[in-house]
Amino acid sequence: MSYIDELFGLKNKVALVTGGGRGIGQTVAVALAKAGAELVIISRSGADETVKLIEKEGGKAYSLIADVTKEASVDTAMAEILKRSGRLDVVFNNAGVCIHKGTLEASIEEWREVIDINLTGEYIVARAAGRLMIEHKIKGSIINMASMSGSIVNIPQWQASYNASKAGVIHMTRSLAIEWAEYGIRVNSLSPGYIGTPMSVDTPKELKDAWMPLIPAHRMGKPEELAGAVIYLASEHSGYTNGSDLIVDGGYVCV
């Protein structure tokens, strides 16, 4: 075993990724598998492509269909994970959505959709995973997907619901970290900046052109540049990192 494998290897660990059918979730799921973990991918429409990518690399994975906003759906998925894998060590709580609309244009239904998926959905998954870990005495790691938008207000697009949801995720993460520290469960959040994913393909060019001068790195990040951060937080060598928000944004929030 190499020194790096010893530090960050996830052999004999079971990792769950929500929203792992594409984009950041898919990239991170493949990376976690390469680090040695058995992967479980949860999405609303299945994640067969991600499973195939992992298996092609010699990894082990399966997907489950579940809606993170529905407690019963998540509980059913957790029971299936326990049945098929016997444990759950790592959660990358990644499922999310963003609606770029000004406050006066966005409907209350759109506000609720964003809050339900980004904040309540992450709470439901974290709660179910935490319960499983506590009941089975597993000292696990839960990594909630936040955003630099939880710390700054993005311009020129308006997205109050998204910003509020991600700020909520950051503080929820801190709260759960303190609540569950006595069980050896660590809860941290990851706050990416602008990342180039399939979702960002539909972003209007004028928005991207406005973002670039504001990013000290003068480019969007790559999903692969988040994988190392997640592996660090998932590994046992981040054992003293708890309640932290790890920002990976090319320096945006420093300006």
Positions annotated as catalytic residues are: 147, 162, 166
Tokens of 50: 């991600």
Average pLDDT, the chain: 95
Q: pLDDT-based confidence at 1, cuts 50/70/90?
A: low
Angle at 147 between CA 53 and CA 174, to 5 degrees: 105
Per-residue pLDDT, 197: 81
pLDDT band at 3 (very low <50, low <70, confident <90, very high): low
With a CB cutoff of 8 Å and minimum separation 6, the contacts of 213 are none
Per-domain residue ranges of the chain: 3-245
Q: How would residue 46 be classed by pLDDT, with cut points 50, 70 and 90?
A: confident
Q: Helix or strand or coil: residue 245?
A: strand
Q: What is the mean pLDDT of residues 213-228?
A: 95
Residues 126-148 pLDDT 10s: 999 999 999 999 999 999 999 99
Q: How long is the chain?
A: 255
Specify the higher pLDDT residue, 98 or 202: 98
CATH dotted code for 3-245: 3.40.50.720
Q: What is the mean pLDDT of residues 107-128?
A: 98
Residues 49-95 pLDDT 10s? 999 999 999 999 999 999 999 999 999 999 999 999 999 999 999 99
